[in-house]
Amino acid sequence: MTEIRLKNVLKAYGKVEVIHGIDLHVESGEFVVFVGPSGCGKSTLLRIIAGLEKVTGGEVLIDGNVVNTIPASERGLAMVFQSYALYPHMSVYKNMAFGLENSRMPRSEIESRVNQAAAMLQITDYLHRRPKQLSGGQRQRVAIGRAIVRDPKAFLFDEPLSNLDAELRVAMRKELAALHGKLGGTMIYVTHDQIEAMTLANKIVVLNAGRVEQIGAPLDLYNNPQNTFVAGFIGSPRMNLLEADIAEGEGGLALSAGGQRIAIPAIDGLKAGDKVTFGARPEHIAIVGEGEGDIEAKVDLTEQLGGETYVYCTVGGLPQLTVHQVGQLPVHSGETVHLRFNRDEMHLFDASGKVIVNGFKS
């Protein structure tokens, strides 16, 4: 079992800094997912851990040893690439055995390990085929198999599912989760897909522009985002984020935006005139009867999915709001609806985007 620690890791290409000092602790046996928009540095960070990129500052520690100067081949990690990177001139068996041959393992041991991994991934029938004779999903399995046979200190995955079609992606996602349960190794997984992050991770690292925005368990990020970036990034469809001013209200404060007023309880350190961003997830906005709602909105579009309904509506002077309701809803575009924000689930961020409160206590 392996723990990986990053201490103030910096990376620059020439004068362009792409990673601005990241501290991270990946505990033994944990499934950590790096998630963020493209270009946020998540792949670079993974490659730094792998040893394929050199850091320009800070330290990478594997099991307490600084590995900054240790080449990728000696770090004992295995990586699954987005492109699979299977050796096209070798059979599936050879692909999987290559890493073991390099560590001068006896032939019989190689054979038993490859066969075992192949059985686990159900690729035994393809062992003598070339990669180009395999489908995308099969290649993906071979790439994972190549990592498994090595029995590495930790597994690194660089967007491994992004080349698969949607259906296969869901299936492979489940298999990966099962695999982590079976092998129990330390895994670091890079993705831009927050659903993959939410479903697979023990711990999610949200990255943006080379900085860590927040580290936490999936539901922790969902319930308690520390800033507007994480609030907007985690959750699908994304959280409604509206800029508002604080005003005095009856028995507390009120949010004022585009001529609308929403009453909120008093909060320490917040006074009338402050600029804030308030957030409400689509599933935390209720459609209620007349007189019970906070605001009145006009429906632009509804998406009926059978089990759930998305309603997109506009409120005078505000950006479009997304509302999610369970079940089928008899609402049509052009209608007027009354929306009520669930106070327990509302988020309030200050002008710089940092959280003030996650859920008002009533």
Count of residues binding another protein (CB under 8 A)? 31
Cα–Cα distance between 62 and 311 in angstroms, integer? 48
Using DSSP, state whether 220 is helix, strand or coil. helix
Cα–Cα distance between 278 and 235 in angstroms, integer? 16
17: CB partners within 8 A, 6+ apart: 10, 11, 210
- Closer Cβ to another protein, 187 or 230, answer by number: 187
**CB-CB contact of 227 with 355 (8 Å):** yes
Provide the CA 10 distance to its chain's centre, in angstroms.
22
- Closer Cβ to another protein, 41 or 282, answer by number: 41
The neighbour count for residue 98, using CB atoms within 10 Å, is 16
As measured in angstroms, the least distance from the Cβ of 287 to another protein is 45
As measured in angstroms, the least distance from the Cβ of 256 to another protein is 52
Provide the CA 159 distance to its chain's centre, in angstroms.
11
Q: According to the binding rule CB under 8 A, does residue 135 interact with another protein? A: no
Q: According to the binding rule CB under 8 A, does residue 88 interact with another protein? A: yes
Q: According to the binding rule CB under 8 A, does residue 81 interact with another protein? A: yes
Reference 322, options 287, 357, 351; nearest CA is: 287
Q: According to the binding rule CB under 8 A, does residue 67 interact with another protein? A: no
Binding-residue pattern over the window 32 to 61 for another protein, x denoting contact by CB under 8 A: ------------------xxx---------
- Closer Cβ to another protein, 80 or 339, answer by number: 80
Q: According to the binding rule CB under 8 A, does residue 103 interact with another protein? A: yes
Cα–Cα distance between 268 and 356 in angstroms, integer? 10
Q: Which of 31, 84, 93, 278 binds another protein (CB under 8 A)?
A: 84
Residue found under tokens 């990728």: 72
Q: According to the binding rule CB under 8 A, does residue 312 interact with another protein? A: no
Q: Which of 13, 87, 171, 316 binds another protein (CB under 8 A)?
A: 87
Q: According to the binding rule CB under 8 A, does residue 118 interact with another protein? A: no
Q: According to the binding rule CB under 8 A, does residue 15 interact with another protein? A: no
Q: According to the binding rule CB under 8 A, does residue 91 interact with another protein? A: no
Q: According to the binding rule CB under 8 A, does residue 85 interact with another protein? A: yes
- Closer Cβ to another protein, 77 or 230, answer by number: 77
Cα–Cα distance between 194 and 218 in angstroms, integer? 10
DSSP string covering 77-110: EEEE-TT----TTS-HHHHHHHHHHHTT--HHHH
**CB-CB contact of 204 with 217 (8 Å):** yes
Q: According to the binding rule CB under 8 A, does residue 74 interact with another protein? A: yes
Residue found under tokens 């201490």: 7
**Phi/psi at 145 (5° precision):** -60, -40
- Closer Cβ to another protein, 99 or 353, answer by number: 99
- Closer Cβ to another protein, 147 or 280, answer by number: 147
Q: Which of 36, 41, 131, 160 binds another protein (CB under 8 A)?
A: 131
Stretch that binds another protein, among 84-92, 111-119, 290-298, 354-362 (CB under 8 A): 84-92
Q: According to the binding rule CB under 8 A, does residue 98 interact with another protein? A: yes
Stretch that binds another protein, among 76-84, 116-124, 292-300, 307-315 (CB under 8 A): 76-84
Runs of H (alpha helix) within the chain: 42-50, 92-102, 107-121, 136-149, 166-183, 194-200, 218-223, 228-233
As measured in angstroms, the least distance from the Cβ of 198 to another protein is 26
- Closer Cβ to another protein, 83 or 320, answer by number: 83
**Phi/psi at 183 (5° precision):** -85, -35
Residue found under tokens 């038993």: 112
| Chain residues in the site for another protein (CB under 8 A) | 50-52, 71-74, 77-79, 81-89, 98-99, 102-103, 130-132, 136, 139, 146, 150, 163
